[in-house]
Amino acid sequence: MAIAQLAYRDPAQRGAVGAAFFDLDKTIIAKSSTLAFSRPFFDGGLLNRRSVLRSGYAQFMFALQGADHDQMEKMRAYLSAMCTGWPVQSVRDIVAETLHLIVDPLVYDEAVQLIEDHQAAGRDVVIVSSSGSEVVEPIGEMLGADHVVATRMAISDGRYTGDIDFYAFGEHKAQAARELAEEYGYDLSECYAYSDSETDIPLLMAVGHPHAVNPDRGLRRAAAERGWRVLRFDRPVGLRQRVGLHSSASRAVAVAVAAGLVTAGVTTWQARQRRELTLSRRLALPRFR
Mean per-residue pLDDT pooled into runs of 10, the chain (289 residues): 55 69 93 73 73 51 50 65 86 87 86 95 95 91 94 93 91 96 96 96 98 95 97 82 48 37 40 47 39
Judgement on whether residues 265 and 145 belong to the same structural domain of the protein: no
Q: What is the dihedral of CA 253, 259, 261, 267, to 10 degrees?
A: -150
Judgement on whether residues 158 and 253 belong to the same structural domain of the protein: no
Amino acid at site 88: V
Judgement on whether residues 230 and 257 belong to the same structural domain of the protein: no
pLDDT at 242: 55
- Helix/strand/coil (H, E, C) string of 116-160? HHHHHCCCEEEEEEEEEHHHHHHHHHHHCCCEEEEEEEEEECCEE
pLDDT at 52: 54
Judgement on whether residues 217 and 285 belong to the same structural domain of the protein: no
Range of the domain at 25: 4-240
Count structural domains, the chain.
2
Q: Active-site residue numbers?
A: 23, 25
d(CA 273, CA 11): 55
